[in-house]
Copies of this chain bind each other. A is one copy, B any other.
């Protein structure tokens, strides 16, 4: 299941998420102190990072890979409430049980900090607290955006909205503007997409087929997606024409 990660002792200075994670604003000396309390951890695709109700021993940043935050009702209905990408933060200072299941969708590496030392450090270094506030506000905006999707959009618009988000993220990683032709891989199964969108996997599949039939997307295999015209996809998502802006 979960092993202590490869002993490639990484230095924060070389870290791929150095400039976007919770440590983004830290000065070199602060980074040094963080390095003392951090450790890496690897999780296999499909394994649980945290179970809802679990005691959390640490907070962490996703270094690589993708994880999901989900809530499940007693009868098994589940709703994804967050998609964790590299640099996203897991856990809440001052709380010690997780209200959500955190599941690795792909193999992931997490940069973990034991909770107590991290909390102490947060009190002493405003750079961390400030960055965490900023990230939390971004997540809150994203959650509210998603409430509109869940509450008011049709199945087709929901799918298009999700594709839009993934396409944007992918473009951002590759330092390209999200417009024109875009190509990316879906990091989620149809079932995970359904859990994100409040749909069934059958409906997800049907709407993917419909978008393909209508030329909004092209599929190669199940996961490899080409968007011939990003603005067309935006229209399908029902978003404001300008497409809004992310942080």
| A240 CB to nearest chain B CB (Å) | 7
In this assembly, does A71 line the interface, its C-beta being within 8 Å of a C-beta of chain B?
yes
| A204 CB to nearest chain B CB (Å) | 13
For A140, give its contact among B129, B143, B152 (CB under 8 Å). B143
Q: List, in ascending order, chain B residues with CB within 8 A of A139's CB.
A: 140
Interface of A is mostly: helix
Which of A13-21, A33-41, A76-84, A214-222 forms contacts with chain B?
A: A76-84
Q: List, in ascending order, chain B residues with CB within 8 A of A143's CB.
A: 140, 143-144, 147
If A126-B129, A152-B79 touch, does A92 touch B137 (CB 8 Å cutoff)? Answer: yes
A79–B129 touching, CB < 8 Å: no
A141 to B139, CA, bound (A): 10
A79 to B147, CA, bound (A): 7
A147–B81 touching, CB < 8 Å: yes
In this assembly, does A74 line the interface, its C-beta being within 8 Å of a C-beta of chain B?
yes
A198–B136 touching, CB < 8 Å: no
If A147-B143, A198-B152 touch, does A129 touch B136 (CB 8 Å cutoff)? Answer: no
Q: List, in ascending order, chain B residues with CB within 8 A of A81's CB.
A: 144, 147-148
A71–B140 touching, CB < 8 Å: no
Q: List, in ascending order, chain B residues with CB within 8 A of A79's CB.
A: 147-148, 151-152
In this assembly, does A111 line the interface, its C-beta being within 8 Å of a C-beta of chain B?
no
Q: List, in ascending order, chain B residues with CB within 8 A of A132's CB.
A: 133
Which residue of B has the minimal Cβ distance to A136?
A: B136
A139 to B92, CA, bound (A): 13
Which residue of B has the minimal Cβ distance to A81?
A: B144
| A151 CB to nearest chain B CB (Å) | 3
Q: List, in ascending order, chain B residues with CB within 8 A of A241's CB.
A: 74
A82 to B140, CA, bound (A): 10
In this assembly, does A238 line the interface, its C-beta being within 8 Å of a C-beta of chain B?
yes
Q: List, in ascending order, chain B residues with CB within 8 A of A197's CB.
A: 151
* Interface set of A (CB-CB < 8 Å, partner B): 69, 71, 73-75, 77-79, 81-82, 92, 94, 99-100, 123, 126, 129-130, 132-134, 136-137, 139-141, 143-148, 150-152, 197-198, 238, 240-241
